[in-house]
Amino acid sequence: MKSEPKVKAEYDSKFDILYMTVGDPTPSEAEDIANNVYVRYDVYTNRLAGAIIMEYSKRNKEWLAKILPKKLGKHLPNLAV
């Protein structure tokens, strides 16, 4: 049985952007699903590749978890203020 790809989250505090990657990095295209919230899909397989969330510290995490694909929504980090 094949295991689920690992979700990795990296936060850029200087620009307040959260980058999320599913599995190994891959060429991808982004779809804007909300104001400055992008979900990325592999250009070859259309597999979920990750997300980019601008102004992450100002976002409601419950709302983000609802609009993001489930695989990503459950991996949103809490930031220390």
Angle at 68 between CA 34 and CA 73, to 5 degrees: 140
Gyration radius (Cα) of the chain, Å: 12
Contact indicator for 54, 37 with CB cutoff of 8 Å: yes
Indicate if the pLDDT at residue 10 is higher than 80: yes
81, 69 contact by CB (below 8 A): no
Average pLDDT over residues 2-18: 91
pTM (two decimals)? 0.90
Query: What digits encode the pLDDT tens for the residues 41-74?
Result: 999 999 999 999 999 999 999 999 999 998 899 8
